[in-house]
């Protein structure tokens, strides 16, 4: 499974120059003013020292407030030995049109155990035919517990 995720991320990065050139040729900038909502699905892996890598699925919703700021939520589930649900309220800081930093607090559940989590992550959105493809890397800090790294590829759309 990790090989498939890595191949997907490498493929996305390989086609990035083509996507950027195509968008620049058409003058396709993201028009958040007319479509401020963005929803994406994540496929990736969550790594912790205790459990190693765990296949992860997630959803991410953002509402754009300005050129720089969007707010939203993230919900993820890490399978296998990790067996964890993570829910976050996030701020998406659009450093450039495509490069985004994501920060926010949340909560994580491991069975009946609940812990606080804080996320700092980065993603780069490529726009292709009305969809976004974004490789992502996030660091989840857990106070009094081992932290986690989430890496994946998300596919989304604005509406």
Cβ-count burial 20-41 (b if 16+ within 10 Å, e if not): eeebeeeeeebebeeeeebebe
pTM of the model: 0.79
Structure tokens given for 64: 């754009």
Q: Poorest-confidence range of 11-20, 104-113, 148-157?
A: 11-20
Euclidean distance between the first and the last CA atom of the chain, given in angstroms as a whole number: 31
* Residues in contact with 101: Cβ distance below 8 Å, sequence separation at least 6, in sequence order: 92, 93, 95, 120, 121, 122
Q: How confident is the model at residue 1 (pLDDT cuts 50, 70, 90)?
A: low
- Give me the mean pLDDT over the 47-54 stretch: 94
State how far the Cα of 137 lies from the Cα of 100, in Å rounded to an integer. Answer: 11
State how far the Cα of 123 lies from the Cα of 101, in Å rounded to an integer. Answer: 7
Q: How confident is the model at residue 30 (pLDDT cuts 50, 70, 90)?
A: low
Structure tokens given for 76: 């993820």
State how far the Cα of 56 lies from the Cα of 17, in Å rounded to an integer. Answer: 27
At 9 the pLDDT is: 52
């Amino acid at each position: 499974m990790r090989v498939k995720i890595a191949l997907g991320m490498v493929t996305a990065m390989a086609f990035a120059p083509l996507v950027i050139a195509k968008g620049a040729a058409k003058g396709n900038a993201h028009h958040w003013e007319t479509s401020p909502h963005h929803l994406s699905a994540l496929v990736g892996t969550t790594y912790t020292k205790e459990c190693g890598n765990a296949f992860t699925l997630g959803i991410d919703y953002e509402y754009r407030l300005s050129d720089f700021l969007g707010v939203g939520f993230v919900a993820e589930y890490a399978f296998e030995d990790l067996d964890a649900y993570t829910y976050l309220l996030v701020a998406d800081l659009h450093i450039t049109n495509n490069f985004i930093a994501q920060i926010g607090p949340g909560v994580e559940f491991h069975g009946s155990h609940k812990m606080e989590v804080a996320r700092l992550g980065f993603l780069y959105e490529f726009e292709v035919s009305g969809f976004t493809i974004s490789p992502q890397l996030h660091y989840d800090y857990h106070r009094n517990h081992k932290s986690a790294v989430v890496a994946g590829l998300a596919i989304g759309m604005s509406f």
